[in-house]
Amino acid sequence: MAERLLAVQDLSTHFFTHAGVVRAVNGVSFTLDRGETLGIVGESGSGKTVAAMSILRLIPDPPGKVVEGSIMLGDRDLRTLDDDAMRGVRGNDIAMIFQDPMTSLNPVMKVGKQIGETIRLHQNKSKAEAWQMAVDLLARVGIPDADKRASQYPFEFSGGMRQRAMIAMAISCNPDVLIADEPTTALDVTIQAQIIEVVLEMQTRYESGVILITHDLGVIAEMSDKVMVMYGGHTVEYGPVDEIFYNAHHPYTWGLLASLPRLDESEKSRLTPIQGQPPNLITLPAGCPFTPRCPYRREQCRDQWPQHEDVGPEHGVHCWIPEEERLTIRADLPMFKESAA
Amino acid sequence: MSLLEVRDLKKHFPIRTGVFKRTTGHVYAVDGVSFDVEKGETMGLVGESGGGKSTVGRTILRLTEATGGDVKFEDVDVMRASRTQMKSLRRDMQIVFQDPYACLNPRMRIRDIVGEGLKIHDVGTEAERKKRVSELLDTVGLNSEHAERYPHEFSGGQRQRIGIARALALNPKLIILDEPVSALDVSIRAQVLNLLEDLQNEFELTYLFVSHDLSVVKHISDRVAVLYLGKIVEISDSAVLYDMPQHPYTEALLSAVPIPDPHTERTRRRIVLEGDVPSPANPPSGCVFHPRCPRAKEICTTAMPRLVATGDAGDRHEVACYFPARFPTGGRVVSDEPLVDALPVEAG
């Protein structure tokens, strides 16, 4: 069995604002093994980024606070580590790739120096050694003329090149866990294909566990081993990638899959959107946040959050609809009819 | 006669540097683009950043003045229209912008935003206009009581509906949709796409749909033009484009889009292009795509190939490539001999 790298249990992160308590993440649990990719998918405000930032303890406090849960990295609970020890974890054990490489790179520092800085923080290297390692890393992520490029500034890099530099920085200390937050969202699709290739290559090489946060189900299908679907700060469904795409149990997951225009659709078909608007995280119902938009909602949905229910190997769902009824409803959905045929 | 005819459209933005703002170069944003849009159809413009797709839309409406070329709308010469002619043309040609947060004036009520066009064109009395605004909000799926609110009270999807209501106000014939769903979440995106389709059927609208998202463009368009560095490299019926892409850039673009289906993803062959899109300020010589092209040969560096129909999938499928993929019966063939029709006139 693969080595367990990370186990997050019942994580809740709330923001205490003047307007009220924003319940961004509510009781989220997941695990990550060596060499595995966990895709976290959800729309804006679903809590996917806050969940990842909570792992790294990067939530600004105040107003934010991890109010509940445990985050086990091996046998250490990251919630109880002191700040010094946490600094040792960031970059060294867990590294992060952000969505917007321009705002996450220092504009007035040479790219090689920025990468070297991380190395020198965690490893006992001289400046020259760190610089040389930075150049090697840049070459490894596919930047031509890495030697010359290392002494340039971020503004001299294109979007794709900057994201490569971010990846070089993230892998510089050979982290066990790599968190990629919308790593390709700001990029053109041909550049996105390049970056996905680099991330997968680095993952194979370093055997990292990757947490991939994205709203793009296409990228999820391409890169993930297992998927967590989030809505309104809750995990609504969790399972291996094939289970989520071909054996989904939650009405929100159905809704997401049905609302996508697909490049390989053979004839013009009409999309089935999810009705209504995204939830307000301050006035979330006590029960399932998807209730107001769910076509199959029932009485208890609004007031009680459904318990985790196993529906397959490592496949869980939170939904009040009884399993049998769910399968009947699903059998009538156009997109599942198609795949069954 | 087509509703919209675009011929050899060019927009070169000057690059000015130094104290005296001397022009030291040009950004070739749109460089010789031609296409027709028939009444009632949806024409998709797709490409990556720097392809010039948004500039095409804005230039047609003369929101920026073209450097050269002709645009005809119902046989009226748009490029040489006077101010008064332009005013009446703009009743028929409307635009919906990408960013639903930036395109609505935050200090205006929804009623005034949607009704502004009516007021400018002096349509009806105050009371009639008010009624029309309520109707429009209803048409796009909002409530008439929303009319008294301000933009900040709405979500992204609702704002985009407001933008669409504003565009519809004067019963236009053509609407240019500039990345109308790019800023929206997946579940909301489907709502807006369906709304656009319903409106098109109801009001016999013609759309020019600009987007970087191939799946969305393919879904909504009847025909698609693929732009690269200010030039159309391929144009075809959208149903044909996915199965029979002829230009290597179209092939790469299609293969790079991840499909939300793990089985399909595992078996697909992906063409990963090397390098970045070059700067439109300094486009490559010859075919603009040749530095990244897996099929590039000597001839590709000399001159841009002409956009021609190969006849494999009807006359409406045109490609600008010396070595396009051909689809004779029974498979895909790429010839080593350059396509004679694509050679520039003076050389061939």
Q: Take residue B210 and report the two structure tokens written for it.
A: 């600009």
Task: Tell which phi-psi region holds residue A114, choosing left (phi > 0), alpha (psi between -120 and 50) or beta.
Answer: alpha
Alpha-carbon gap: A190 to the closest alpha carbon of chain B (Å): 6
Dmax (CA) of chain B: 69
B258 CB neighbours in chain A (<8 A) are: 196, 216, 218-219, 221-222
In angstroms, rounded to a whole number, what is the distance separating the alpha carbons of residues A101 and A164? 9
Q: Take residue A294 and report the two structure tokens written for it.
A: 């769910």
> Residue B248 contacts by C-beta under 8 Å, 6 or more apart in sequence?
B271, B289, B293, B294, B295, B321, B323, B325
- What is the enclosing helix (H) or strand (E) of A21? strand A20-33
Chain A residues 172-191 with a CB less than 8 Å from chain B: 188-191
Contact with chain B for residue A208, Cβ under 8 A: no
User: CB of A55 within 8 A of CB of A179?
Assistant: yes
Q: At residue A277, what is the residue type?
A: Q
Contact with chain A for residue B158, Cβ under 8 A: yes
Contact with chain A for residue B262, Cβ under 8 A: yes
Contact with chain A for residue B81, Cβ under 8 A: no
Contact with chain A for residue B222, Cβ under 8 A: no
Q: At residue A248, what is the residue type?
A: A
pTM exceeds cut of 0.80? yes
A158 CB neighbours in chain B (<8 A) are: 276
User: CB of A154 within 8 A of CB of A162?
Assistant: yes
pLDDT tens string A292-318:
999 999 888 989 999 889 998 899 999
A278 CB neighbours in chain B (<8 A) are: 155, 185, 187-188
- What is the enclosing helix (H) or strand (E) of B197? helix B186-203
In angstroms, rounded to a whole number, what is the distance separating the alpha carbons of residues A210 and A104? 19
User: How big, in percent rounded to 5, are the helix, strand and coil portions of chain A?
Assistant: 35, 25, 40
Quick check: helix, strand or coil at residue B65? coil
CB atoms B49 and A217 under 8 Å? no
CB atoms within 10 A of CB A287: 18
CB atoms A262 and B260 under 8 Å? yes
Report the residue of B101, B143, B182, B186 to disrupt the A interface, i.e. the one with the largest count of A CBs within 10 Å. Answer: B186
CB atoms B258 and A261 under 8 Å? no
Of B219, B253, B260, the CB nearest to A257: B260
Q: What is the dihedral of CA B26, B32, B36, B37, to 10 degrees?
A: -20
Contact with chain B for residue A230, Cβ under 8 A: no
CB atoms B215 and A260 under 8 Å? yes
Of all residues in chain A, the one with the smallest CA distance to B212 is A188
Chain mean position to CA A218: 14
Task: Tell which phi-psi region holds residue B74, choosing left (phi > 0), alpha (psi between -120 and 50) or beta.
Answer: left
Give me the tens of pLDDT residue by residue for chain B, a chain 348 residues long. Answer: 799 999 999 999 998 888 888 888 888 999 999 999 999 999 999 988 878 888 999 999 999 999 999 999 998 999 999 999 999 999 999 999 888 788 899 999 999 999 999 999 988 899 999 999 999 999 998 888 889 999 998 888 889 999 999 999 999 999 999 999 888 888 888 999 999 999 999 999 999 999 999 999 999 999 999 999 999 999 999 888 888 899 999 999 999 898 889 998 888 888 888 888 888 888 899 999 999 999 999 999 999 999 998 877 777 899 999 999 988 877 888 888 888 888 887 644
ipTM of this predicted structure: 0.84
CB atoms B260 and A218 under 8 Å? yes
pLDDT along chain A (341 residues), means of 10: 88 91 92 94 89 91 89 91 90 87 86 91 89 91 88 87 88 90 84 86 89 92 94 94 93 92 79 86 88 91 90 92 90 70 40
CB atoms B155 and A267 under 8 Å? no
Of B49, B215, B272, the CB nearest to A188: B49
- What is the enclosing helix (H) or strand (E) of A329? helix A323-331
CB atoms B258 and A256 under 8 Å? no
Contact with chain A for residue B334, Cβ under 8 A: no
Contact with chain B for residue A218, Cβ under 8 A: yes
CB atoms B48 and A188 under 8 Å? yes
pLDDT of residue A28: 94
Of all residues in chain B, the one with the smallest CA distance to A279 is B155
pLDDT of residue A1: 61
pLDDT of residue B112: 93
- What is the enclosing helix (H) or strand (E) of A154? none
CB atoms A278 and B219 under 8 Å? no
Chain A residues 109-168 with a CB less than 8 Å from chain B: 158, 160-161
Of A216, A256, A273, the CB nearest to B191: A273
Contact with chain A for residue B189, Cβ under 8 A: yes
Contact with chain A for residue B242, Cβ under 8 A: yes
Residue showing tokens 């006590």: A286
